[in-house]
Structure 1
Amino acid sequence: MRCGYFEDGRCGSCTELRTPYDAQVAAKVEHCRRVLGDHPGLAWLPPVTSRPSGFRNKAKMAVGGTAERPTLGILDPHGHGTDLRTCGLYSPRMQALLPALADLVGRAGLTPYDVPSRRGELKHLLVTESPDGEHLVRFVLRSSEALPRLRKHLPALLAARPDVVVVSANLQPEHKAVLEGPEEVVLTERSTLRVAVNDIALHLGPQSFFQTNTEVAAALYRQAAAWADEVAPTDVLDLYCGVGGFALHLAAPGRRVLGVEVSDQAVASATTTAAELGLRDVAFLAGDATTPPDSAADLVVVNPPRRGLGPELCAWLERSPARTLIYSSCRAESLARDLAALPSYVAERARLLDMFPQTGHYEVAVLLRRR
């Protein structure tokens, strides 16, 4: 992938851009195998590759410049905006939407937040795209002061861009490196974006977590479902379930599935999808995944954040009756630490999924069985 932003030094986010894609994937596999260390009998399946460009379903754009001429992209070391609207990681549809959003910023007088002076209202513009080309747009604001202006000018955008189906404002008043705040104000009739993954339409709310690469996420869920079907569990516990990607793909006749997620919004979205699919044996619980409910699950799926499971959850898994564990990790170092804290389980199969081309990051799924 060629990128003018990278070549002229305006953006260095794609750290592996000069490395041929096949070599990127090979290096990731080698890194993951080296970090995980010696696991006798662990079989590595062929890696799942991605489109090297246009694969991101999310644009997380810091807003700089002025309301009349905003920049959508990143901030330079001095806190000033660098515009990246035509970034090659975004689809052509998302690239085409960004100028309309920048125009709305000007018409609504949403003054970009200036980090050095700590003045302004609009901090970030967050866009999520579904495979069908629909979009969820979030404006991260310092306060509710600009909401009346945003509401006034939003109908013109929605009329011109029917692909924009959900719009919200997130309020983040603090001056610190936190992307969003806890308060979300939905400004459209629809509150969720439908994202088709395999044959399941997931519902994404404004604050819902979802994998950055929809096509590779679909492969990840298919792999987990295939492993689950091999062991044919009666009860499945999905920890850090998000909007239900794993739980809903693992549903099967005669199989009970429970997903646990701290976000009430994500649980509501997952519950909606389960109801639409008529899945009566799939349920979701809002709670802390690090302290799971009592469960008789014979299969547990975990998809923790980069920090991993931690000692308390690993100890809980050691005590649990689960015979099988499927671990999806975005950081090999924390995965290796957790595997060492799970001596009752043997890692049998692993597969790297290249969720993040042009970078050194990746996802890896591991199938573990009780000794």
Structure 2
Amino acid sequence: MHCSYFDAGLCRSCTFMGQPYDAQLAAKQARCAATLPPVAWLPPFAGPEEGFRNKAKMVVAGTVDAPTLGILDAAGTGVDLQGCGLYPPALSSAFAPLERFVTRARLEPYDVPSRRGELKYLLVTLSPDGELMLRFVLRSQEAVARIRKHLPSLLEEEPRLAVVTVNVQPEHKQVLEGDLEIPLSAATTLRMHLAGVDLHLRPRSFFQTNTAVADGLYRQARAWVDEVAPARLLDLYCGVGGFALACAAPGRSAVGVEVSKEAVESARQSAAEAGVDAQFHAGDATALAAELLEGSDAPDLVVVNPPRRGIGAPLAAMLEGSDARHVVYSSCNVDSLARDLAAMPSLRPVRARLFDMFPQTDHHEVLVLLERAG
């Protein structure tokens, strides 16, 4: 992949830029294999090396009449990245209409050095069906009325917009979004069809950035789960329910736990529409696991998909001491994964696979199947 922004020194986010893609995959695989215990590795799962992102987090800078959509440089000046090759045309084609809308609705870009302005980010998500979710991240509600007034013109120019909201983040710090979300459209969820399952994405819910590779990740997990055929499955850090719903099957119950209430509502909606035996609870995974791993309804298999820090010692100890025969661990940080595996010695890794969610970078996603010894 060639990138003019990288060559010009305007953006260096893609640390592997310019390296052959096969070499990138080999480097990631070697690092993961060297960090984890010996395990049977399946071939890496890779999607397109460019045009793969389903989400754009565009920092808005510049002026009302000449806004930039992209990132900030070290001085806090906007760098326009509308032509970034990581975005597919179905996503990047929405940027120009949004740039024009900033000017039309007189949305003053937030200036970080002076702490003045209103519009901080434009967050755009693309569904597999080609629909879009748009979130305006503002410093206050001052511009909401103007956005409402001019929104029909934006919808006419970009009719694929299915979900539109305003998020208010008043603080001057590196926090992407605030607690207040104001819906501007009738629809409140974006349909994400992956691995044969309809998932519903709400504005403040996490979702994998690479749709094609996320589809492969869910399908691989389902294949491993079906192979060991558990009767009861527990999905910790379940997000919008991707793993639990992908692995649902007749005669198999699933329970998911996620700290985000919005994500749990999405998972419940998807489960109801699919008619599967799956329940979802909002709360801390470690706190709820203490109860869910015991009793007559204790799971035979546990799926964990934690943030970069991993599951941590307390939850690892609970899984180690549980009756679960298998664990499917999805990790975006091989170092924290290695620490967690060391804390669960009776759950031995038997298979692993690298999923390249973020080509052109050293980031990785690893799926590991663990089996209890004895």
Structure 2 length as normaliser, TM-score?
0.97
Partner of 2:313: 311
Give the 5 Å matches for 1:343-354.
343-354=345-356
Amino acid in structure 1 at the alignment position of 2:17 = L
Partner of 1:228: 225
Question: In the alignment, which of 109, 113, 116 is matched to residue 113 of structure 2?
Answer: 116
Structure 2: distance between partners of 1:290 and 1:104: 44
Partner of 1:290: 286
Does 2:244 align with 1:250? no
Cα deviation, residue 109, structure 1: 1.2
Cα deviation, residue 104, structure 1: 1.1
Partner of 2:238: 241
Structure 1: distance between partners of 2:8 and 2:125: 27
User: Structure 2: where are the runs of 5+ without partners?
Assistant: 293-297
After TM superposition, the structure 1 stretch with the greater mean CA deviation from structure 2, 297-306 or 90-99, is 90-99
Cα deviation, residue 160, structure 1: 2.2
Partner of 2:5: 5
Structure 1: distance between partners of 2:144 and 2:24: 44
After TM superposition, the structure 1 stretch with the greater mean CA deviation from structure 2, 248-257 or 150-159, is 150-159
List structure 1 runs of 4+ shifted beyond 4 angstroms. none
Cα deviation, residue 292, structure 1: 2.2
Deviations 1:132-177 (A, max 9, x none): 1110011111111111111111111112211011011111111111
Does 2:8 align with 1:14? no
Cα deviation, residue 312, structure 1: 1.1
Partner of 1:34: 34
Cα deviation, residue 115, structure 1: 0.6
Structure 1: distance between partners of 2:160 and 2:197: 20
Amino acid in structure 2 at the alignment position of 1:67 = V
Question: In the alignment, which of 66, 72, 77 is matched to residue 75 of structure 1?
Answer: 72
Partner of 2:131: 134
1:22 partner SS: helix
Deviations 1:215-245 (A, max 9, x none): 1001000111011011110100000101111
Cα deviation, residue 319, structure 1: 2.1
Partner of 1:163: 160
Structure 2: distance between partners of 1:334 and 1:290: 16
1:291 partner SS: helix
Deviations 1:49-101 (A, max 9, x none): 12011000000111110111110000000011000001100011211110101
Partner of 1:146: 143
Partner of 1:125: 122
Does 2:332 align with 1:335? no
2:345 partner SS: coil
Partner of 1:263: 260
Structure 1: distance between partners of 2:288 and 2:353: 26
Question: In the alignment, which of 54, 59, 68 is matched to residue 62 of structure 1?
Answer: 59
Structure 1 length as normaliser, TM-score?
0.97
Cα deviation, residue 318, structure 1: 1.6
Structure 2: distance between partners of 1:353 and 1:369: 21
Partner of 1:209: 206
After TM superposition, the structure 1 stretch with the greater mean CA deviation from structure 2, 83-92 or 309-318, is 309-318
RMSD: 0.9
Amino acid in structure 1 at the alignment position of 2:301 = L
Cα deviation, residue 121, structure 1: 0.6
Deviations 1:161-217 (A, max 9, x none): 110110111111111111111211111000010011121121101111000101100
What is the count of residue pairs matched by the alignment? Answer: 367
